[in-house]
Each structure stands twice: as C-alpha cells, then as structure tokens.
Amino acid sequence: MHTDSLASSAEHDQVHLARPPARTTAGTVACVVVMGLLALAGVVWSPAALANLQEALGLVLFAVATNLLLGYGGLVSFAQAAFYGIGAYGVAIGWLHWKLPFWLGGLAGIAAAAVAAVIVGVISLRTRRLYFALLTLAFTQLFFVIADNQTAITNGATGIFGAMVPAWLAEPQGGYYFTLVVVVVVTLACYAFVRSPFGLTLKAIRDNRERAEALGVNVYRHQLAAFVISSIGCAIAGFLFAIYSQSASPDLLSWTNSGEPIFMAVLGGMHTFLGPVAGAIVYFYAQSYLTQHITDWQLVLGLLLLVIVLFKPSGLAGIGADAGRAVRRLRARTGGRA
C-alpha cells in the first residue's frame, strides 16, 4: 500500500510538472504584452516622453542589479552607486582625454567597475550585516572624493559634458530602443542567474548562512561572485545613463545615489524578481511629478517608504499578489463569472 501511495504521488508530480501553473503562463503573457507596448512606445510617444522612459529604464536595470544583492543575497550595499558612476565615467573620460570610440570607452568603464567590485568585495565581505553596509558606504565616499578632487581627470564637481555618444544614440528614438534592448537582455541574464543553482544557493545563504556553511557551501566565494555580478549590472546602468545625459559627474557616485535602488527594490518588493522593476517605474514618475508640485518631495517619498515597510513589507508585488488572490477567490465563489 505504501508503494502504491508513492507511485501515485510520483504520477501526480509528473502531471503537475507537465502542466505549468496558470500564474506562470499569465506572467509570461503579461511580460510579452508589456514588451510589445514598450516597443510601440518608441513609435507613438513624443521625444520628451521617450527621453523620460529611457531614463526610467536605466533605473530599472540599476534596481534589478542592486536587488541581486539585497533581495536574493540579503546584503545591503551602499557601494552600488560607485560602480554606476564608474560605468558612466568610462564613456566620459575615454571621450574627453583619449578620444576613445564610444563602445570601447563603455567597455573600459564596465571592466573598471568589475575590478573595483572585486577589490571592494574582497574587503567588505569579511564583515557581516551592519558592518558590511558601513564599509561599502565608506568605499562609496572614497570613490566620490576621488572623482570630486581629481579635476585633471574628471573635471571635479563640474563633471564632464559633451557629445560623447554616436549621433544615432543621441536621438530620442535611437537611444530609447538601444536602452530598451540592453535593459531587456541584461534583466533576462539576471533572471537566469537567480533561477540557476548558484542563485538558489545564494538564497539559501540569505535564509540560513550557518546551515549553508555546514552543508559545505563556500559562502564567501558565492557572495563575492554575486557582488561582482551585481556591480557589473550597475555599471551597465551607468553606461546607459551616459547615453541618456551625455554627462558624468561625482554626484553619480554619492552614497545617497546608492540609496535610490534600495528604495526602489523595497518599494516594489525586494523578494520578487519583477518587484524592483515596478518600484523603479513608480519611483521615477512619482519623483518627476512631485518635484514639479512639491518642494519637499523627499519627505513624501520617505513617508511612502515608511508605510510600505510598516504595513506591506512585500511592497507593490505583495499588493499585486493579494489582488490576484482576491480575484481568484471571487471567481471561485461565482463559478468563474467574475
């Protein structure tokens, strides 16, 4: 009888695996629809609206890359703005001093960010929790001071401005479509990362570090790899910022700029993959609206974050999940007519 029960359970599992959950299918359809709408926006939206959406997409990538550490690794890092700024400065400095081709300057900036991430990660990950956050904050301020003081290289607080990108990328439509493609490709790569065995191990470390170590997982190496991968994603977001603004300044490397993707991830739901995407979009357009109508817009966003943390830690993703469950319950009660 016990054997029959196990066989029946195995057959049930096989049937369950062969038929994808409805929520997964619905999520895939929703993503395809959103991608179609974003592609259509490049044709029908005005140049000003496209410029705003292009900037918002860059923030989406910044938030998703940061959340690889925050939501999946359980690491609060204030160093991500440093890598974001290095990605932008790679383009700007290469153009200003060495007249490097745009693509070469971008690759140099991303590579420099990866090297910096290895150095920062090797040192910072020797500590835990609050001390890790404070140490990454110290490194961010160090990079900020270097960018602010090395006027011969970075132009100091003035920053670097100029026609540093190809003409077709400087146009709203060309820049928007390029940004969209890069953000989609890198976001999919991040999704593959969190769904891989490495990503699942990283979540296990987040949930119970001691147990993971007892099972033979090299926690330090996993966290260092995640730190570097996240930092490369942030550097690519900084590279996209240089395309949008054709500039780079020390403010990009400030610790307050590192707080923005953390805010976006918490707002959207840091324990879901698409939560930071929603958080970044809402944050960008809410900030744009509030700055036009309210002087102390930071206070409003701060209160919003406080409400989310206190009453709905799962963020916008949690609100959406609750709404979906409510709809399914209503449909079940009404026999699918709702």
Of 331 and 97, the one with more pLDDT: 97
Q: What is the DSSP letter of 158?
A: G
pLDDT at position 9, please? Answer: 39
Mean pLDDT of 52-66: 97
Percent of the chain with pLDDT over 70: 91
Taking the C-alpha atoms of residue 83 and residue 307, their distance in angstroms, rounded to an integer, is 30
pLDDT at position 332, please? Answer: 82
Q: Which amino acid is at 261?
A: P
Q: How many CA atoms lie within 13 A of 269 on its CB side?
A: 17
- pLDDT for 20 beyond 50: no
DSSP 262-319: HHHHHHH-TTSSSHHHHHHHHHHHHHHHHHHH-TTHHHHHHHHHHHHHHH-TTHHHHH
Mean pLDDT of 159-169: 94
- 198-256 residue pLDDT tens: 999 999 999 999 999 999 999 999 999 999 999 999 999 999 999 999 999 999 999 88
Taking the C-alpha atoms of residue 192 and residue 277, their distance in angstroms, rounded to an integer, is 16
Nearest to 193 by CA among 181, 205, 182, 203: 203
- 118-160 residue pLDDT tens: 999 999 999 988 999 999 999 999 999 999 999 999 999 999 9
Query: What is the phi/psi pair of residue 247, to 5°?
Result: -160, 170
Mean pLDDT of 41-56: 94
SS3 75: coil
Q: Is the distance from CB of 178 to CB of 243 less than 8 angstroms? A: yes
Q: Which residue's entry shows tokens 């070469």? A: 104
pLDDT at position 23, please? Answer: 55
Average pLDDT of the residues of the chain: 89
Distance from the first to the final alpha carbon of the chain: 43
pLDDT at position 15, please? Answer: 39
Percent of the chain with pLDDT over 90: 73
- pLDDT for 328 beyond 60: yes
Q: Is the distance from CB of 172 to CB of 50 less than 8 angstroms? A: yes
Indicate the pTM of the whole model.
0.89
Q: Is the distance from CB of 258 to CB of 172 less than 8 angstroms? A: no
- pLDDT for 12 beyond 60: no
Taking the C-alpha atoms of residue 105 and residue 179, their distance in angstroms, rounded to an integer, is 17
**Alpha helices, DSSP H, located in the chain:** 2-18, 22-44, 47-73, 80-97, 102-124, 129-149, 151-154, 167-170, 172-195, 197-207, 209-214, 219-245, 255-268, 275-293, 297-311, 315-333
Mean pLDDT of 164-187: 95
Q: Which two tokens stand for residue 305?
A: 């974050």
Distances (CA, A) of 319 to 272, 284, 308: 12, 19, 10
pLDDT at position 6, please? Answer: 36
